[in-house]
Amino acid sequence: MIKKISYKDQIYEHLKQAIIMGDMTPDEIYSEQMIADKLKVSRTPVREAVLQLRFENLVDVFSGRGFSVRPIHFFDVQQIIQARTAVESASLRALIIGLDTAEGQEILKQMEICVTQDMPATLSDKNNYDFMRADMEFHMLSVSFTGNEFFIQIMNMMRTRLEQAMFSSLKKNLRPIAAIDEHEKIFSSVKLRDTDGAIRALVEHMNATEIILCEMMTD
């Protein structure tokens, strides 16, 4: 059956994208009624969406006043990168061990599509948002393979916070091209069943991402 997307989920995705792309900023307070009026919906689904964003540490809610976007700081990026590296290293190791399974082969196929089709396809029109989503989907593939609900939940909670910072970094002209190369190295190592090489390529990619993001925050 085709599931209908609830108003809450639609509003949540709308607000999340606005936060990631910088259309909603930390220096302004937004009211639920203002969002409801703009989207022509009642306040209830807006309130539910805002509560989900608060749970994911994307917004701060002020009783009777509204909510604001939570800024992302230098130490946030460092901690997210550290946590992601730990989760994804374990996930890549599990994927390589299970590469002979039908599920493992399907994940490998999807990883190849990400690095050879999905990410490069966004370069021609410089669609940073779509590139970033393809980038994150690549990383989620190995995590989803583990079937570990805690890994998946942790990654999803960190995902938008990191996307919030990543979107601006992709405006650097050469970063998307370099990022594709870094993902190709991870994929190639997985395909060769080189666990140490895959984890080393992941660490190099995470370190490069952290350096760029932290440089931007200190400019």
Determine the Cα–Cα distance for residues 77 and 162; give it in Å rounded to an integer. Answer: 7
* List of residues 6+ apart from 72 with CB closer than 8 A: 161, 164, 165
Residue 195 confidence (pLDDT): 98
Residue 204 confidence (pLDDT): 96
Residue 33 confidence (pLDDT): 93
Architecture of domain 7-69: Orthogonal Bundle (1.10)
Determine the Cα–Cα distance for residues 168 and 165; give it in Å rounded to an integer. Answer: 6
Determine the Cα–Cα distance for residues 206 and 89; give it in Å rounded to an integer. Answer: 11
Of residues 152, 88, 11, the one with CA closest to residue 19: 11
Determine the Cα–Cα distance for residues 124 and 112; give it in Å rounded to an integer. Answer: 19
In this structure, what is the dihedral angle of CA atoms 185, 132, 10, 57, given to the nearest 10 degrees? 90
Q: Which residue has the higher pLDDT, 118 or 217?
A: 118
Determine the Cα–Cα distance for residues 198 and 113; give it in Å rounded to an integer. Answer: 18
Going from N- to C-terminal start, the domains of the chain cover 7-69, 74-218
Of the ranges 73-82, 99-108, 191-200, which one carries the lowest mean pLDDT score?
73-82
CATH homologous superfamily of domain 74-218?
GntR ligand-binding domain-like (1.20.120.530)
pLDDT 10s digits, 143-179: 999 999 999 988 988 887 777 777 666 665 567 888 9
Contact 165, 171 (CB under 8 A): no
Mean pLDDT (the chain) is 88
Which residues pair with residue 67 across a beta bridge?
Answer: 30, 61
Where does the pLDDT of residue 55 fall: very low under 50, low under 70, confident under 90, or very high at 90 and above?
confident
Q: Count H helices, E strands: the chain? A: 10, 2
Residue 176 confidence (pLDDT): 83
Residue 38 confidence (pLDDT): 92
Residue 1 confidence (pLDDT): 44
pLDDT 10s digits, 95-131: 999 999 999 999 999 999 999 999 998 887 666 778 8
The residue whose two tokens read 């995470």 is: 206
Residue 219 confidence (pLDDT): 55
Per cent of the chain over pLDDT 90 is 58
